[in-house]
Copies of this chain bind each other. A is one copy, B any other.
């Protein structure tokens, strides 16, 4: 599934056992290397999106499928919340759920994603009914929720660190969608605009926790693996979306 250049040798570095404890700088660097190699910004479907090559149907398929991920994020975060060992940690985490679910006063990320759906020409009802969501998208997202429920909380926190890499991708995406897909109603961009400020705040907290609570080489290795797992979750979604909405060969 993940046939990228350098992936195998990268893995050897990442998963070698018996290493000494990395310094915080080395550990942060290892985490960032995971993103550099495996984050879904390099997936062919994203590459095609950012080159303006996707059809309306492909954009719609991506938005409709990705809804299943969006709606599962607060479920995942509530699972992590329930596994956090103190109220101080829960206080730092609970805002993520509110960001996605919203409040009576202010709608959140799920609503913003539904508005993106409308902006690309999907009815709210068909997105919510999940008509277009393909099984492999469901399976990968469900695997992520299951991971958050069942793994030690610090690994679940580490798995969220793809947010270290998302602001770069999202800021490019906003420009790409506006310039290369002018038929998309710009009212649908709120989700991405909001994530530009939310994601760095979230990843600051998550990285702080991972650096504090991973105290052994094994902890550090597992955090790196958790982040790699999360990259796989995102990558697998795009694989499934590409399969359902194939790219044209050049």
Q: For residue A103, which residue of chain B has the nearest CB? A: B91
| Chain B positions within 8 Å of A101 at CB level | 87, 90-91, 94
B-binding residues in A (CB < 8 A): 71, 74-76, 78-79, 81-82, 84, 87, 90-91, 94, 97-98, 100-104, 108, 110, 149
Given the known interface contacts A78-B81, A82-B75, A149-B82, the answer about A98 and B94 at a Cβ–Cβ threshold of 8 Å is yes
Q: Closest Cβ of chain B: how far from A107's Cβ, in Å?
A: 9
Specify which of A71, A75, A110 lies most central, judged by the most chain B CB atoms within 10 Å of its CB: A75
Q: Closest Cβ of chain B: how far from A117's Cβ, in Å?
A: 15
16 contacts between A and B (CB under 8 A): A75-B82, A76-B82, A78-B78, A78-B90, A79-B82, A81-B82, A81-B97, A82-B82, A82-B149, A87-B100, A87-B101, A87-B108, A87-B110, A91-B102, A94-B94, A94-B101
Name the contact of A74 in the complex, choosing from B75, B87, B97 (C-beta under 8 A).
B87
